[in-house]
Chain A
Amino acid sequence: MTRLRFDNVSASYGRGEVLCGVTCSLHAGAITAIVGPNGSGKTTLFRTVVAPRGAGVRRTGGAVLLDGEPVEQLATRRRVARIAYIPQRPSVAGAFTVQAIVELGRYALRDNAQAVRQAVRRAGLLGMERLIYGELSVGEQQRVTLARALTQIHGGEADAVVLADEPTSAMDIRHEVSAMAVFRELSQAGVAVGLVVHDLQRARRWADRAVLLDAGRVVAEGEADDILTPQRLGPVFGVHFVDDSLAEPVADAQT
């Protein structure tokens, strides 16, 4: 079932359009991998949901619909309880503790100590609550951001969307596997998970569905096994793969 729909969405940072009429969907209870080369519009796609009038990016056309309702028409609390965002490069100004950052997930919602405790545990942060966020490694900071997102949607997973932009890019393999298991649990609970990911093998391993972007346009959308194939990915990324496992891609000769 379609939970979040990008309907002919265009977006710009001021000079030229970064997204040109993108139409695709995130389904409830599924992990959708968003893949594409650098600059294809993956991050911008998520930014049109969380900050349509945020710093720099501007949605210039189309609509983003949550269960058929434009996201900008949702009341703040309803939007916050249903859409969580994990940015590519989380940043925090000030010496806030891990606990304080995770609690910010409930900023616009009712305090929920149990949600915070559960999120801290699920993100593997037990014992780290009093550490200063800015003194953690980037991988650890990504786990804190994951916990903050889990706190935000706690109790409403059946209706929620999580937009995660390369959420495990700096994690070690153990924590990456743990984090991906959390995303899998979320999707099994009904969450529509959107996952920007560069590692195509992992995308195929973890995702149920996939959206392939190139130069701000959707090239293909569908079941992950149908989209994440050498035949589809090769021309978009300018590589060819030695076999169907997507291992060891070889760059095409420059023309």
Chain B
Amino acid sequence: MRARVVTVIASLVIVLVLVCLCRLIAGSTIGWPGTDILELRAARLTSGVAIGAALAVSGVLLQALLRNPLASPFILGLASGAGFGVVLAVYVGFRLGMDSIRYAPNWGPALVGAMASLGLVFAFGRRRGQLDPIGLILVGVVVSAIFGAGTLLVLHLLPADEMATLTRWMMGRVSEDRSWAVIGLIAGGTALGTIVATWLGPALDGAALGDDEAISIGVPLPVLRPVLLLLAGALTAGAVVLAGPIAFVGLICPHVVRLLSGPGHRSLVIGSALLGAALIVGADALVSSFRVAGGRLPIGIFTALIGGPIFIWILRSRWRAGT
């Protein structure tokens, strides 16, 4: 099993390196770019790695937290909540005439929005005090829809040009407007979050048992759960600030890695981070190469087209398994 895990992780590292190289040479012209273009592409590449890794690791954490393989930042409404937080902050900045808020990365409001979503899902997704797998998903869909509607409402209160920019962002695309400082901060935060999640791997394995049994073997569930909640929210918020809400990355990556390397959470976190990064960077390279919509096609379209059918497949597999 250990050899299999090492092989999978090594393969994913190679895939990510190759995809990153493709991203650097892909654009309106294919080939190694000049310094200015290289810097732009390197920024998008770094953003892509951070976005993909953050969403995938967040997915792993949410699935462990809720003991539900269907959980992900998008399905549970975290991404929509974070998106609403950002748009609301832009609106507040616009109304108050405060450009420092209006054009800021607004990581804080994104985090508050993500945590609010998760709080609602936790509060209403329970049945007789226990988290109900299907109930959580249904409540997540509703919460996501409510925050989505709120986001649309706020967007329509903004000037037309700002509304158009934010609408494109809401469809999920790697932003070109973020400074290296913001990208570096979020990429660093994502790396730190991934390291913490990897360190927590054995505890996440123990949390796979029922609550009482997990506590009886020494898993500190009352402490672990808020930590996971905060970590998943922070990772999602960072990704949303850089790219808007991107669907299904947090769902697909843990599932694929689980199939390849097994359920152990240490390898699951690392593998999912690598695969998520490769997925987003690869999608961004494709979008930039094919020049559809001037190379500005939202990558959220790709992830939704791939992730939607996979989600249905997982759901049906679980029904067939009677779970």
Contact = CB atoms under 8 A, between A and B. Distances in A.
Interface of A: 13-14, 47, 50-51, 53-56, 76-77, 79-80, 83-85, 87, 89-96, 100-101, 104-105, 107-109, 145, 148, 152
A164 B68 CA distance: 27
B136 to A, nearest CB: 13
A76 B219 CA distance: 9
A77 B218 contact: yes
Contacts, number: 83
Given A107-B218, A108-B218, A55 B205 contact: no
Given A55-B129, A76-B218, A109-B218, 6 more contacts: A47-B212, A76-B220, A101-B209, A108-B217, A148-B217, A152-B217
A51 B218 contact: no
A51 B205 contact: no
B315 interface: no
A79 B216 CA distance: 8
B129 A107 contact: no
B206 A55 contact: no
A95 B258 contact: yes
B213 A105 contact: no
Contact of B216 (A50, A53, A101): A50
A80 B208 contact: no
Contacts of B130: 55-56
A66 to B, nearest CB: 13
B123 interface: no
A109 B219 CA distance: 11
Interface in B179-222: 202, 205-206, 208-213, 215-222
Contacts of B264: 100
Contacts of B205: 96, 100, 104, 107
A140 B128 CA distance: 28
19 contacts: A47-B212, A50-B213, A51-B212, A54-B221, A55-B130, A56-B130, A76-B218, A79-B218, A80-B216, A87-B210, A87-B212, A87-B213, A90-B209, A92-B209, A93-B67, A96-B263, A100-B264, A104-B206, A107-B219
Interface residues of B, number: 27
B209 A54 contact: no
Interface in B217-271: 217-222, 258, 262-264
Given A83-B216, A90-B209, A104-B206, A53 B262 contact: no
B263 A90 contact: no
A62 B68 CA distance: 36
A94 B219 CA distance: 17
- Sorted from nearest, which 6 A-B pairs have the closest CB atoms? A108-B218, A94-B263, A85-B216, A56-B129, A93-B67, A80-B218
Contacts of A108: 217-219
A128 to B, nearest CB: 16
A192 B201 CA distance: 33
Contacts of A104: 205-206, 209, 217
A151 to B, nearest CB: 9
Nearest to B64: A93
A95 B69 CA distance: 11
B215 A51 contact: yes
Nearest to A52: B215
A88 to B, nearest CB: 10
B210 A91 contact: yes
B263 A85 contact: no
Given A55-B129, A95-B262, A107-B202, A90 B219 contact: no
Interface string B81-95: 000000000000000
B125 to A, nearest CB: 14
A62 to B, nearest CB: 19
Contacts of A96: 205, 208, 263
Given A53-B222, A107-B206, A108-B218, A13 B129 contact: yes
B37 to A, nearest CB: 44
B258 to A, nearest CB: 7
A229 to B, nearest CB: 32
A107 B67 contact: no
A94 B205 CA distance: 9
Nearest to B129: A56
Contact of B208 (A77, A89, A94, A105): A94
Nearest to A49: B216
A51 B215 CA distance: 7
A76 B208 CA distance: 19
A20 to B, nearest CB: 20
Contacts of A105: 217
Contacts of B263: 94-96, 100
Interface string B39-70: 00000000000000000000000000001110
